[in-house]
Structure 1
Amino acid sequence: MEQSRKIIQEEIKALKEKIQTLESQLEKAPSPEKEKKIKEGIKEFIRQTQLTPSYSPPITQTDEVEEVEALEDKSQQIGALIKLALEKGVVYATNIARQLKNPAILDEFHDTLVDRYYKILKEKGIIKD
C-alpha cells in the first residue's frame, strides 16, 4: 500500500512539472483553450506510460485482468481501471488495460483518466484557472 502511494505521488509530481511547463506557455490563453492544452499534456503523459517495456505480468496482475474482463459492461471495466490507476498508479492500470486487448476500452480509459486526473490536479491547486 505504501509503495502504491509512492508511485502515485511520483506520477502526480511528474504531471505537475509537465502542467507547470504548459501553463507558463499558455499564460495568456483563454480558459477553454488552456484546459484543452493541459488535458492534451495529461493524455501525452498517460500515453508515455504505454511505452514502458512489456514483461511477464505477476499472478496478481493476471488475476486483475480476469476480474476486469469478467465485468459485464464497458463502463464497469473503465471504472475498475480508473480505480486501479488511482490506487496502484497509471503504469499499472495501463498494463492491465493493454492486456484486455480491446482498443476501445484502452482509448476510453485514457480519455476518462485524463478528465479524472485534470480534476484531481485542479483540486490540489496544481492547475490554476
Structure 2
Amino acid sequence: MACLLSKQDDFVNQVSMLETLIKEAGHECIFLPKFHCELNPIEMYWGWVKYRYRQVPKKTFDNAKQAAFDALNACPVDLIQRFMNRSWRFMSASRIKLTGKAVAWAIHKQKSHRSVSQTAMMHLDAIVNP
C-alpha cells in the first residue's frame, strides 16, 4: 500500500513541513542525496568543528560545552563559502559522469568558481587517453 501511495501525484508533490518552515523563514531548502558527504557542505563544516573541538583541553562538562560552542562559532564565513564551492564542484563533476580518481583530480585542478572547468576536462582527457 505504501508503494502504491508513494506513486500518487498528490503524495509525490506534497511539500514537507520542514521545507515549508524553511521557505517561510526566507531560506532555500536543498535536500541532498544520503551518504554523499562530498555533496554536503555541512559534513565539511562538522569535520572542521570536530577538529577544532578536539584541540581544546576539557576537564569538566561545562568546559566541553563551552568548547563546543566556541568551535561552532569559530568557523570563518569564507571557509564555509569554500565548503559550498567544493560541494558545487563535486556536483558539477557528477553531472558530467566523472567517477573515482577522475573526480578528485578534476576538483583539485579546476579553477572555476562552482563547476569543473573545460580546461580541467581537456587535461584529464589528455591524461586518460594519451
Q: Same fold (TM over 0.5)?
A: no
Which has the higher relative contact order, 1 or 2, with Cα contacts under 8 A spaced 6 or more apart? 1
Comparing both structures, which one devotes a greater share of its residues to helix?
Answer: 1
Q: Bigger radius of gyration, 1 or 2?
A: 2
TM normalised by structure 2 equals 0.27
